[in-house]
């Protein structure tokens, strides 16, 4: 299961509604138009605000972005946006869909462009200088966002449209974005009295600062803790990993040594293969202690403040707890329904862990290791079990998983399912923000129509946040002139040595396909309005999880999994072992994820006054029967999904909610005459599950695809767990 990571920067999430603002001191029409004109003139001198220019309907000027322009661009972008919005709010005409909702959809384009560049600095090219700007601007941006949601006149106009007879005559997409716009206001303080509105806005500003600090603390621990090894400390490590570690050390002026960085992409293979148990323990402790070292980057106190402020804020709106508020407009609807799903799977997951640990301990005992399995032993001995039970060597599999070939495989799948063709863009034709970034032109294979661009930033480096994610620099819309897609995938693979391909694990290959699924979701969109791209968090991972399934199709295996030295296809015997081992270690993978998801819900349904993060995590996991050999995938102090922003807060369960849909949808393909490339099922896939984005309620979209609701039993079958309950 892939915990993909965030598709938008935390700060950009605060601007999910960019179309409303509080009235300035002088609200006369002439003054507003003058302010708007001045803002436009000022923006012409700042590349971060300027319209995208060049080929492909315009592309970001990544080669011209300067940090010196960022703060003034943000300030001017907000000023321009507020002027646009104030004009909508003070329109003397009766409110209707066109003069209110559509005009709101048009507003904020300059600021949106600034946030494209902001996201690059935040996620891909961070620096101490950027983080200082980020720290200063976070509360200012939050205050701007509060002006949006607390503009009384604008809310009254939105409310009037939402409650008007006109709504019935609108298209289904128009009705949905009207509801989403109204809901966005109503759930974010628009109905409060003036005193509570002010407090609500103050809380948002403080939270913005805390979220930013949390994220930067984790990044600081990732950058500050690098383990340098000598040649005699490399026992068990694969040649490809050793070569990559040497390259990482050399890039840090440590030629002749080997760097193990404090990121998952480095930690995971080291713990899997290193025979140096004391070093495994050191690497494990360093990674899972991020944000929890009792120093200036410790996140425990920040977590307490974040939870308290979130709780205070939702109490102003009349909710009992944060999760209740958060899930109201999600597929789960209530925390109880989300927790119910977790409780159906949790017992089987921890039972499987006990079996896995017993298998590991037996091998350790047979080897005379004289140890009891600890968390830093899990990956190492799991690999030994994999070899013994399935004769499957992960490093042997890795020799057939070349990053470039896997990319070609993803293009093949996109061609079969979506009729897309990917053509490399000549170097220099499209600006990029780092030499590692490559760009492809995406077209329709039949008509040749330009669909968009796909940017790929695959490798780990200093200043880049860990994990893997997808994002867009421009989404597809038609309401204001057709806008083609600028999509991006970002990973943290350890680059292969000079002249050698980058080899990755099977798990990483699944992640690669997963994130590409997000890109295909962006590229296949066929919606009218920008708001239709806002995702429902416990649904938005479904499409990307589903795309992982094509990695194991015969067409991909036979044509793209070839040995990096010999060029020979992966042997069928090895493929059989991979398939036979498909549910291997599922206890570990499910438990490390679910413990994080359950703790997220517990943090957001418990009175914050009763929470001391360190002890709360420990006590609740003990109560749940968490196996001592497994740790949360994201320990509390490094849980950026829920504490670096609010996109996944009280919603990390959504990966499993989406996984139920994934397993059920995969069975639809497995049952089809053409299997995973069945033409009719593929057409339904694109039509109902990808192209509509959020223009249709997700439960309705899934029923159109499957003919019924998804069933949790499909998930249990996928994981090899016993089915003990009926849905």
HSE toward the beta carbon, residue 306, CA cutoff 13 A: 28
Q: How far is CA 488 from CA 116, 453, 470, in A?
A: 11, 8, 6
Residues 6 or more apart whose Cβ sits within 8 Å of residue 371: 277, 364, 377
> Is residue 209 within 8 Å of residue 305, measured between CB atoms?
no
Name all domains of the chain by residue range, CATH numbers in brackets: 10-217 (1.10.1370.40), 225-288 (no CATH), 535-565+653-722 (no CATH)
| Gap between the Cα atoms of 262 and 286, Å rounded | 7
Dig out the tokens for 520 from the structure.
């295909």
Dig out the tokens for 202 from the structure.
């103050």
Q: State the average pLDDT over residues 584-593.
A: 95
pLDDT surpassing 90 at residue 1:
no
What pLDDT is attached to residue 535? 80
Q: Calculate ∠ Cα 539-459-379, nearest 5°.
A: 70
Mean pLDDT score of the chain: 91
Stretch among 34-48, 181-195, 326-340, 368-382 having the lowest mean pLDDT: 34-48
What pLDDT is attached to residue 722? 84
Q: How far is CA 5 from CA 404, 542, 594, in A?
A: 22, 13, 15
pLDDT surpassing 80 at residue 43:
no
Confidence class for position 724, pLDDT limits 50, 70, 90: low
Buried b (16+ CB within 10 A) or exposed e, 60-88: bbbeebeeebbebbbbbbbbbbbbbbbbb
> Is residue 600 within 8 Å of residue 647, measured between CB atoms?
no
What pLDDT is attached to residue 582? 86
DSSP assignment string, 189-203: TTTS-HHHHHHHHHH
Buried b (16+ CB within 10 A) or exposed e, 599-611: bbbbbbbbebeeb
pLDDT surpassing 90 at residue 230:
yes
CA 208 vs. chain centroid, Å, equals 19
pLDDT surpassing 50 at residue 154:
yes
Q: State the average pLDDT over residues 611-617.
A: 95
> Is residue 197 within 8 Å of residue 150, measured between CB atoms?
yes
What pLDDT is attached to residue 265? 87
Q: Calculate ∠ Cα 631-236-492, nearest 5°.
A: 55
Q: Is the pTM of this model over 0.95?
A: no
Q: State the average pLDDT over residues 498-506.
A: 92
- pLDDT tens-digit readout, 436-475: 999 999 999 999 999 999 999 999 998 998 889 999 999 9
What pLDDT is attached to residue 497? 86
pLDDT surpassing 50 at residue 400:
yes
What pLDDT is attached to residue 209? 95
Q: State the average pLDDT over residues 411-425.
A: 98
Q: State the average pLDDT over residues 192-220.
A: 95
- DSSP label of 503: B
Stretch among 174-178, 603-607, 722-726 having the lowest mean pLDDT: 722-726
Residue 454 belongs to what H/E stretch?
A: strand 450-459
- DSSP label of 120: I
Dig out the tokens for 620 from the structure.
């609740």
Residues 6 or more apart whose Cβ sits within 8 Å of residue 621: 595, 599, 632
HSE toward the beta carbon, residue 165, CA cutoff 13 A: 0
What pLDDT is attached to residue 168? 95
The neighbouring-strand residues paired with 456 are 438, 489
Dig out the tokens for 518 from the structure.
């997000």
| Gap between the Cα atoms of 613 and 607, Å rounded | 12
Which residue is associated with the tokens 């500003």? 205
| Gap between the Cα atoms of 576 and 556, Å rounded | 14
Residues 6 or more apart whose Cβ sits within 8 Å of residue 566: none
- DSSP label of 292: -
Confidence class for position 44, pLDDT limits 50, 70, 90: low
* Helix residue spans in 524-653 (DSSP H): 542-547, 554-560, 572-580, 586-603, 613-624, 640-643
| Gap between the Cα atoms of 566 and 720, Å rounded | 35
HSE toward the beta carbon, residue 649, CA cutoff 13 A: 24
Residues 6 or more apart whose Cβ sits within 8 Å of residue 599: 617, 620, 621, 632, 636
- pLDDT tens-digit readout, 273-325: 999 999 999 999 999 999 999 999 999 999 999 999 999 999 999 999 999 99
Dig out the tokens for 154 from the structure.
């604008």
Indicate the angle between helix axes 378-390 and 335-366, nearest 10 degrees. 70
What pLDDT is attached to residue 498? 86
By percentage, how much of the chain surpasses pLDDT 70?
Answer: 93
What pLDDT is attached to residue 13? 35
What pLDDT is attached to residue 161? 98
Q: State the average pLDDT over residues 177-199.
A: 94
What pLDDT is attached to residue 564? 95
Would strands 450-459 and 469-474 be described as parallel, antiparallel, or unpaired?
unpaired
Among candidates 489, 675, 715, which has minimal Cα distance to 583? 715
pLDDT surpassing 70 at residue 14:
no
- pLDDT tens-digit readout, 54-98: 999 999 999 999 999 999 999 999 999 999 999 999 999 999 999
pLDDT surpassing 80 at residue 429:
yes
Phi and psi, residue 493, nearest 5°:
-70, 145
What pLDDT is attached to residue 42? 47
What pLDDT is attached to residue 33? 47
Residue 127 belongs to what H/E stretch?
A: none
pLDDT surpassing 70 at residue 40:
no
Indicate the angle between helix axes 264-273 and 239-250, nearest 10 degrees. 140
Would strands 227-229 and 485-493 be described as parallel, antiparallel, or unpaired?
unpaired
Q: State the average pLDDT over residues 25-30.
A: 38
> Is the model more confident about 25 or about 377?
377
What pLDDT is attached to residue 404? 97
> Is residue 511 within 8 Å of residue 547, measured between CB atoms?
no
């Amino acid at each position: 299961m892939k915990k993909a990571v965030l598709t938008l920067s935390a700060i950009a999430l605060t601007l999910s509604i960019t179309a409303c603002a509080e009235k300035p001191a002088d609200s006369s029409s002439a003054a507003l138009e003058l302010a708007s004109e001045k803002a436009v003139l000022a923006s012409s001198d700042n590349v971060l605000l300027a319209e995208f220019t060049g080929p492909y309907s315009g592309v970001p000027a990544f080669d011209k972005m300067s940090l010196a322009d960022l703060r003034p661009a943000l300030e001017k972008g907000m000023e321009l946006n507020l002027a646009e919005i104030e004009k909508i709010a003070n329109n003397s005409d009766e409110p209707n869909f066109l003069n209110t909702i559509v005009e709101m959809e048009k507003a904020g384009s300059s600021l949106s462009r600034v946030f494209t560049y902001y996201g690059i600095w935040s996620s891909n090219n961070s620096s101490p200088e950027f983080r200082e700007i980020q720290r200063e601007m976070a509360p200012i941006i939050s205050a701007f966002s509060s002006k949006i949601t607390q503009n009384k006149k604008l809310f009254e106009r939105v409310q009037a449209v939402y409650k008007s007879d006109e709504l019935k005559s609108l298209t289904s997409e128009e009705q949905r974005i009207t509801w989403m716009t109204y809901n966005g206001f109503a759930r974010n303080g628009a109905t409060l009295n003036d005193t509570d509105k002010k407090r609500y806005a103050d809380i948002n500003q403080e939270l913005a600062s805390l979220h930013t600090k949390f994220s930067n603390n984790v990044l600081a621990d990732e950058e500050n803790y690098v383990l340098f090894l000598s040649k005699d400390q490399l026992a068990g490590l694969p040649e490809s990993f050793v070569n990559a570690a040497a390259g990482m050390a050399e890039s840090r002026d440590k030629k002749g040594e080997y760097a193990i960085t404090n990121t998952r992409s480095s930690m995971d293979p080291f713990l899997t293969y290193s025979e140096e148990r004391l070093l495994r323990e050191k690497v494990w402790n360093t990674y899972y202690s991020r944000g929890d070292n009792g120093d200036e980057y410790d996140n425990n106190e920040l977590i307490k403040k974040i939870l308290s402020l979130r709780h205070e804020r939702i109490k102003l709106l009349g909710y009992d707890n944060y999760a209740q508020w958060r899930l109201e407009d999600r597929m789960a609807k209530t925390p109880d329904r989300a927790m119910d799903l977790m409780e159906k799977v949790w017992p089987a997951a921890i039972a499987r862990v006990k079996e896995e640990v017993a298998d590991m301990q037996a091998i350790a005992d047979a080897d005379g290791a004289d140890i009891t399995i600890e968390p830093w032993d899990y990956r190492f001995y799991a690999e030994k079990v994999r070899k013994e039970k399935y004769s499957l060597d992960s490093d042997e599999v890795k020799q057939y998983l070349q990053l470039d070939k896997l990319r070609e495989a993803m293009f093949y799948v996109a061609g079969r399912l979506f009729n897309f063709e990917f053509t490399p863009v000549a170097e220099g034709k499209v600006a990029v923000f780092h030499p590692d970034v490559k760009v492809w032109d995406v077209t329709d294979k039949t008509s040749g129509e330009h669909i968009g661009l796909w940017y790929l930033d695959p490798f780990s480096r200093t200043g880049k946040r860990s994990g893997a994610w997808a994002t867009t620099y421009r989404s597809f819309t038609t309401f204001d002139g057709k806008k083609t897609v600028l999509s991006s995938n970002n990973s943290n693979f350890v680059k292969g040595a000079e002249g050698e391909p980058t080899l990755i694990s099977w798990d990483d290959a699944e992640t690669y396909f997963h994130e590409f699924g997000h890109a295909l979701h962006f590229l296949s969109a066929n919606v009218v309005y920008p708001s239709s791209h806002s995702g429902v968090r416990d649904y938005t991972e479904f499409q990307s999880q589903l795309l992982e399934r094509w990695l194991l199709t015969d067409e991909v295996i036979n044509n793209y999994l070839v040995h990096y030295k010999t060029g020979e296809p992966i042997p069928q015997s090895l493929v059989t072992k991979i398939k036979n081992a498909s549910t291997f270690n599922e206890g570990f993978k499910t438990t490390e994820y679910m413990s994080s998801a359950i703790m997220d819900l517990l943090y957001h349904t418990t009175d914050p006054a009763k929470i001391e993060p360190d002890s709360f995590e420990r006590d609740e996991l003990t109560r749940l029967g968490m196996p001592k050999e497994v740790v949360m995938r994201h320990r509390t102090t490094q849980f950026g999904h829920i504490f670096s922003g609010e996109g996944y807060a009280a919603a990390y369960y959504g990966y499993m909610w989406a996984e139920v849909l994934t397993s059920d949808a995969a069975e639809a393909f497995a049952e089809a005459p053409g299997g995973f490339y069945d033409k009719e099922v593929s057409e339904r896939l694109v039509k109902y599950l990808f192209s509509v984005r959020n223009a249709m309620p997700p439960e309705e979209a899934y029923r159109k695809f499957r003919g019924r609701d998804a069933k949790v039993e499909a998930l249990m079958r996928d994981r090899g767990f016993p089915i003990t309950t009926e849905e």
